[in-house]
Structure 1
Amino acid sequence: MRVSFVLSCLLFSSINLLGVQKKTLESVVVEENFQQYTFDEPVEVKISSNKNILENSDIAKSLLDIPGFSMARKGGGGSEIFYRSQGASRLPVVINNSLLHGGCGGRMDTPITYISPQNYKYAKLIKGPQDVRFSSLIGGGVIFDRGINRLNKISYNANLSALYGSFNRKELNLNALIGNEFGSVEIFGGLYKSGDYKDGNSKIVHSSYDRKNIVLTATITPTDTTAVSFSAEVGKGKASYADRMMDGSKFDRNSYALRVVQDIDKHQVKFDAYYNKIDHVMDNFSLRPAKKDFMISNPKRVIKGFRLENELNFNDFKIYSGISHYKDSHISRMSGKQNSQKSAQDVIKSKPFSKNADFTYSSIFLQGEKLYDGFGIFSGLRYDRVGIKFHKSKIDKNENLYSGFLRFENYFDDLTLYAGLGVAQRAPDFWEINGKVNGAKNGYKLKKETNTQVDFGGAYRGQNTSANLNLFASRIDDYIMLHYKNQNIISFNSDVIMMGFQTNAEILLYDMLKAEAGLSYTYAKNLKNTNGLAKGDPLPQISPLSFKFSLGIQKPTWFINSEIYANASQHRYKKDYGNVVGRDLGYSDKFWTLNLNAGVKYKNYEILLLAQNLNNTLYSYHNSKNGAAISTLDIAPTTRVYEPGRSFWVKFKANF
């Protein structure tokens, strides 16, 4: 009843208050390559292509620059990202308007495993359920997009970058574009490689990786109002894992996308069709010595679908409306334990793939923006029809998901204040339901989650200063948790509350000295007595208080910057309870690290330098997995997978 009432109110608001180009705070423009982010809207963070988050191949690590983000390390790949301590399906990752998932039942490959951020023009974070255009958002969403290339004359350019760093880390990136007013061809290519790193105690962490990808995009622009773009992407890779007894010997992704954009006066119609195929192999002998019991597992995942969106722009309001549909299919095959590497390879090749699961999502959404004198109103509604089919357990069911939001923004000369109410529902995902792969019991009985959340705060922009404060409080009914009980994993629903804040402030003095500080915290607890959890128990997998402070000098052709990043200890945990990402391992200790970065630019060339963890701290994040013992490499088990110790890299960039 409560959800129906809230959505009814949001529907009334959507019908009566849909609207236009909103007034937003002007972007903060700084000539520093390592500037973390800019605030364009109170509930979004937009990251352009020259920001550090799109410069660094370690997406999870670089996203920590945004207050509210945390991560979990597993080794050389598969890192998990969280916003406000919500990850996996609660924080969907969207690439060019299509959702991306990994194939492994144990989440060896997460979406960011297959993403090279340098291949995208911009990224965007949506905070909480304050948008309905891309998905139902429980914790928020991360959007990567290449946009459409539109040229007005014959043009050609190329960007080349090369990186070398500690632990034999090597990277090479190329981006080239050629075209004219009628079309263009663009190519992205990247090579990324590293050996095992050492932690703050100089202990080897099984974490090497080797990845490569290439993207070809062809765009036709026959008129000023029409654009058709087709892209093909091929990615290959392998990575060592410190948190388990197998490594990822194959991470292949083939993606194809078609985008058609038609402008009609001030309005626009956009159509996207996509096909994403994940082919993943894990084994216990390719990237580590094996003595016996040679094993291979080979899951595959195919996501294909389309999205159609209509954007209407009038003098005093803007409306987005659209539909989307996609099918997500999962198959796999396994060798079982074999006496030799060759036997395992022969068995896996001879085995056919078995169907595991199919998910279908059919969606419709409506979102609007209206600007009045001094304030704006934003609202949206979304409906998802979800079909879930697990072939082996003969699960076949449907879910109806409803999402919506209403937000009020009040504008002053240098200040925006906002308050919003959002509701988002999420169906249980593949990992929560799947009983065979990760041992979950009764997964098919799980109920859909319902998050009812309020967001409020403000963003300030002065001549040389900017600041923002985001606060949220939510109740999530039927929140899905996992109990890692002995060798079994039991999934169940409970009710929880969450609340917290993120804040960031920066100041520029004397047109050269920049200081910035950020702070974030999330508090959460369980509200029901269920499955060994008591009412009032801490919600598991919640990151502790985090803090950052940076101070640097920036000039038009050079900069130098120092940064301190710190996490408080986490006393609030529930051991052996968690989610599909992992479980609480117990208390986690506080830590701080010192980082330095600098850069110089001369004409079309740049050199960037970075030193991380200069104080060589032994540390790990609260949500990181435990380190597995690898006897054949003389690696002892660790409480958590520790982060790299003191490390350096240098990057050269050229623009032609």
Structure 2
Amino acid sequence: MKLHNFVRTPGATLVLMALASPTLWAQEQHDHGVMNDDAVMVVTAPVTSPLEVTTSLKTPRQPVPASDGSDYLKTIPGFSQIRNGGTNGDPVFRGMFGSRLRILTNNGEMLGACPARMDAPSSYISPESFDLLTLIKGPQTVLWGPGNSAGTLRFDRDTPRFDKPGIQGNASVLAASNDRLDKNADLSLGSEEGYLRLIGNQSRASDYKDGSGARVPSKWDKWNADMALGWTPDKDTLVELTAGRGDGEARYAGRSMDGSQFKRESLGARFEKSSIGEVLDKLEANLYYNYANHIMDNYSLRSPSSGGMSGGGMGMGSMMSMSMPMAMQLDRRTVGGRTQATWLWRDYELRSGADFQLNTHRSKEESGWQKDARFHDYGVFSELTLLATEQSKVTGGLRLDSVKVDNESGSGASERSATLPAGFVRYEHTLSGMPVMLYAGLGYTERFPDYWELFSPTFGPDGASGAFDQLKSEKTTQIDIGAQYSGERFDSWVSAYVGRVNDFILFRYDASNSRVSQADNVNATIMGAEAGVSYRLTDQWKTDASLAWSWGENTDDHQPLPQQPPVEARLGLSYERGDWSTTGLLRLVSSQHRVAINEGNVVGKDFASSDGFAIFSANTAWRVNKNVKLSAGVDNLFDKAYSEHLNLAGNSSFGYSSSQAVNEPGRTYWAKVNLTF
């Protein structure tokens, strides 16, 4: 038998339209697996394990629909974002940043090229180009690559299925304040034997104004085009080929350079065969090729300034004087693949396989392209699930990776290699006669330093030699516990964790010169929790609330870990009747005084404490018929001037001081038309 668990992540619901307070919110939910597409902010997400959140990316969320993957993630409890303007922020989950959170698209990984993560992996993702988002919290899976200590994110596309020849798909147009205009189209043509899926989107916006009316340099213009050609000779077989391209540009108030090119090229192939036999149930395999070609400069989207660096621009963009026109071009090729087999016995399910990834990073010099780094990773994994009783399930997994990195920068070449183990075990129990699920899991993973940690710092741990030779792998041991209750009108859930990170990779910045950084290993303790409740007051009225808290301590220096988001609560009230829905959203964020000044990561650092704030937003939607839905909303209704704690300091070329954080948008109106056919 199968044990099914459904978790409600209360989506951005909320609010008393009569409440004179500000802001917003979103989350996933459980309505017996039925997707409620009429409500703008409600997401119904069937969940396959207590630590796994799955949500439809086609369901709109507030704030104004996301321009990239990181923008979308910040609507999920536990996520925050290092922001530097209007788009292409970097996601942070439970206070953990970078490659501690693996981000996959269609089982492949798209890695950016900028040494300062100006083109973070999430910046190449247009959320509405995908169907499902799956988050696995903590080191509680070994199936999707090494080192995922904070979690694993998967953006996936469904396989179009046809009973007869036809066309299916959807399209949308969004218009919003600050000249925002988004266009999305997703069209599939096919029959029982196969399909052709065409996906395209374009998004652009001008600089926004904050709540005080000040202009924040933040404009962007980006596009993506993808196609998939599939062969489905029967309901259990799939062969698919994919291809895609994209490009864009973005201006950043929080950096000393802008992104004038974000070129993407993607190719992929996958094979799936299900219902093979009584024991061997499924075989799946995929290969992918992703290429990023990135240009950053200080003249395409701004005028070069002699103002120099302010505290907000880390990485390569901060390593040079900004008084003259300058540009850098970098690229990265990533090739990878995986194969997995699933076996089923009476009470057991075993998933085993192998994966690999090769990626090469280069920079363009006067003499041509120069390779500086090449990463090799080969891994094997197995994950076993035992249905111990009618109410209990035990899941465990083991993984082993072989990693090698070639350093080809500078005068001489060198290399490093390591063997990385990982594993976890988790127990889940449903109380007899009660709609309550309890779980506890213990996980361990080792994460090899990524490109940004090995090559971007000025110094390594000893303060002299480079980080490449000195930086150690992170080792994370974490306990995850939680519970969920699913009733007729009331649902609730809580997910908590506590962990020890040995050799946590920490960036330290020179107090007088942000261009100088040192990567170091320290020991750290982390803990936190996310919780949510949802209550259906009547058939039309529903309330939601969530809370997220994360805490980190540098135990070597007895001070806080840097770049930790403050406590955040989200409250919601929604009304649905017939084809109409209305939602109010109140987002409450506390102040953050637990900071480690001049410490952080390759993108951002702690430069000051931050104040708390409350933001109120609202939206309404009308389903005209089964094919057309209209929605409109207002974010930051009371036009509050505020900044997120993790926002970068603004760049001096735009008139910011080194301790002045980039403010968020003021009052923003938006309207959207969705077509389904």
The answer to whether 1:65 aligns with 2:75 is yes
Does the 8 Å CA contact 1:454/1:474 hold for their aligned counterparts? yes
Partner of 1:443: 467
Query: Structure 1: how far apart are the matches of 2:101 and 2:603?
Result: 12
Matches within 5 A, 1:215-614: 215-263=226-274, 264-265=276-277, 267-290=281-304, 293-334=324-365, 351-371=367-387, 372-393=389-410, 394-412=413-431, 413-435=434-456, 442-444=466-468, 445-485=470-510, 486=513, 487-528=515-556, 534=557, 536-603=558-625, 604-614=627-637
Corresponding residue of 1:345? none
Q: Could you report, residue by residue, the CA deviation over 1:409-456 in whole angstroms, capped at 9, with x for unpaired residues?
A: 001341110000000110011111105789995312111111100000
CA offset digits 1:358-407 (Å, max 9, x no partner): 11110111012121221100111111111111102423010111111100
- Distance in 2 (CA, whole Å) between partners of 1:152 and 1:315 is 33
Q: CA deviation at 1:638?
A: 6.1
Specify the alignment match of 1:626 in structure 2.
Answer: 649
**Total equivalences in the alignment:** 614
- Say whether the 8 Å CA contact 1:105–1:437 is kept in structure 2: no
Partner amino acid for 2:409? Answer: K
Query: Secondary structure of the residue that 2:233 maps to in structure 1?
Result: strand
How far apart are 1:356 and its partner, in Å?
1.1
1:77 aligns with 2:94: no
Give how far 1:503 is off.
Answer: 0.2
1:237–1:249 Cα contact (<8 Å) kept? yes
Match of 1:133 in 2: 143
Q: Is the 8 A contact 2:68 2:87 kept in 1?
A: no
Say if 1:70 and 1:83, in contact at 8 Å, map to a contact too: yes
**CA separation in 2, counterparts of 1:651 and 1:201?**
26
Consecutive unaligned residues in structure 2, runs of 5 or more? 8-29, 306-322
Q: Tell me the CA shift for residue 38 of structure 1.
A: 3.1
User: In 2, Cα distance between the equivalents of 1:25 and 1:464?
Assistant: 14
Aligned 8 A contact 1:303 1:327 in 2:
yes
For residues 209 and 355 of structure 2, the distance between their equivalents in structure 1, rounded to whole angstroms, comes to: 45
Residue 101 of structure 1, CA deviation: 1.6
Q: Name the CA shift for 1:282/1:112 in 2 (closer, same or farther; >3 Å).
A: same
Counterpart-to-counterpart distance in 2, 1:223 and 1:38: 28
Amino acid at match of 2:6: L
**Alpha-carbon distance, 1:513 to partner:** 0.4
Distance 2:615 2:653 in 1: 28
Q: Are 1:37 and 1:66, in contact at CA under 8 Å, matched by a contact in 2?
A: no
Q: CA RMSD in A?
A: 1.9
Alignment correspondent of 1:193: 204
List per-residue Cα deviations over 1:89-145 (Å, max 9, x = no partner): 111101111122211001111011100111111011111011110023211111111
Seen in structure 2, the aligned counterparts of structure 1 residues 98 and 53 have a Cα distance that, compared at 3 Å, is farther
Residue 88 of structure 1 is aligned with which of 90, 93, 98? 98
Please give the secondary structure, in 2, of the residue aligned with 1:396. Answer: strand
2-structure distance, mates of 1:76, 1:49: 20
Do the aligned partners of 1:159 and 1:655 also contact (CA within 8 Å) in 2? yes
Secondary structure of 1:328 counterpart = strand
Counterpart residue identity of residue 34, structure 1: M
CA distance in 2, matches of 1:488, 1:635: 20
Segment drifting more, 261-270 vs 163-172:
261-270
Instruction: Report the 3-state secondary structure (helix = DSSP H, G, I; strand = E; otherwise coil) of the residue aligned with 2:128.
Output: helix
The alpha-carbon distance between structure 1 residues 25 and 163, as it changes in their structure 2 partners (threshold 3 A), is closer
Task: Give unpaired runs (5+ residues) of structure 1.
Answer: 1-19, 335-349, 529-533
Q: Distance in 2 between matches of 1:230 and 1:438?
A: 44
**Residues 453 and 472 in structure 1, CA contact (< 8 A), matched pair in contact too:** yes
Deviation at 1:640, TM superposition (A): 1.1
Residue 176 of structure 2 is aligned to residue 151 of structure 1: no
Structure holding more helix per residue: 1
Code of the aligned partner of 1:22: L
2 CA distance for matches of 1:635 and 1:376?
Answer: 55
The match for 1:50 is 58
Does the 8 Å contact 2:40/2:583 carry over to 1? no
Instruction: Report if the CA contact (8 A) 1:419-1:455 is conserved.
Output: yes
Report if the CA contact (8 A) 1:131-1:380 is conserved: yes
Distance (Å, rounded) in 2 between the aligned partners of 1:251 and 1:315: 50
Give the aligned residue type for 2:559: D
- Return the alpha-carbon distance in structure 1 between the equivalents of residues 238 and 456 of structure 2: 45
CA pair 58-304 structure 1, distance change in 2 beyond 3 A = closer
* Counterpart in the other structure of 2:308: none
Distance 2:386 2:492 in 1: 25
Q: Secondary structure at the match of 1:62?
A: helix
Structure with larger RCO (C-alpha < 8 A, sep 6+): 2
TM-score, normalized by length of structure 2?
0.88
Residue 183 of structure 2 corresponds to: 172
SS in structure 1 of the partner of residue 123 of structure 2: helix
- Cα distance in 1 for partners of 2:384, 2:158 equals 22
In the aligned structure 2, how far is the partner of 1:574 from the partner of 1:197?
30
Distance 2:359 2:516 in 1: 26
Which residue in 2 is equivalent to 1:105? 115
Deviation of 1:53 after TM superposition, in Å, equals 5.5
User: In structure 1, how many angstroms separate the alpha carbons of the residues matched to 2:131 and 2:632?
Assistant: 23
Q: Which amino acid in structure 1 is aligned with residue 407 of structure 2?
A: F
Once residues 151 and 450 of structure 1 are traced to their aligned partners in structure 2, the CA distance between those partners, rounded to angstroms, is 47
The Cα of 1:556 is off from its aligned counterpart by: 3.8
1:265 is matched by which residue type in structure 2? G
State the secondary structure of the residue aligned to 1:630: helix
For residues 420 and 429 of structure 2, what CA distance do their matches in structure 1 show? 31
Q: Distance in 2 between matches of 1:369 and 1:454?
A: 19
Kindly state the Cα deviation for residue 512 of structure 1 after the two structures are TM-superposed: 1.1
- Quote the residue 1:343 is aligned against: none
Distance 1:300 1:37, change over 3 A: farther
In the superposition, the TM-score normalised over structure 1's length comes to 0.90
For residue 66 of structure 1, give the secondary structure of its aligned residue in structure 2.
coil
Kept in 1, the 8 Å contact 2:116–2:456? The answer is: no
